[in-house]
A = this chain, B = another copy of it.
Amino acid sequence: MDNKKAKLRRRRHRRARSTVSPGADLGHLRDLVGYAIRRAQIVVFRHFRKSFAAHKIRPIQYGVLTVVGANPGLKQSEVCTALGIKRANFVGILNELERRRLIERRSAKDQRVNALYLTRAGKSLIERLRQINKAHEREVAAGLTSNERVRLIKMLNRISKATYADL
């Protein structure tokens, strides 16, 4: 049913095409910070996953290993706050890292708390991951000058800092 259009088509390509996505006019989407962030995030995370595939490390795992490495003895809840993870969701992430002998839970003075430490293997791995990450970062930011890269991060952090408490 509905065989009377298909002549209404034929009108496309009127505006300049997006530099990000070919095939159709994105309208004002290409002028939005949020849309630019979303597209960049997809590309960067895809690149990250491929870069770390050999070590089976996802971005969140790299974050946890990095933060615990920089803060030995950190509590689970503190890692969650630092990285913006819900503590309920952190349990599974941590279970896998512990199963792989990269992180240890140790009970603390406060028996409710688990203090987290990288194992020897975890410390060794994070050093290698750090090198991979340097290459990853270089490639992701290949289109930016060093100054631009720093300014980009600062601008993004200014956006992140805002709390929008009223909404």
Contacts and interface: CB of A to CB of B under 8 A. Distances in A.
B27 A66 contact: yes
A137 B72 contact: no
Return the 8 tightest CB-CB contacts between A and B, nearest first: A9-B73, A27-B70, A143-B158, A24-B82, A36-B156, A6-B109, A23-B81, A40-B156
A39 B164 contact: no
Contacts of A25: 67, 70-71, 82
Given A73-B5, A157-B20, A162-B143, A33 B44 contact: yes
Given A24-B74, A82-B24, A164-B47, A140 B40 contact: no
A74 B10 CA distance: 9
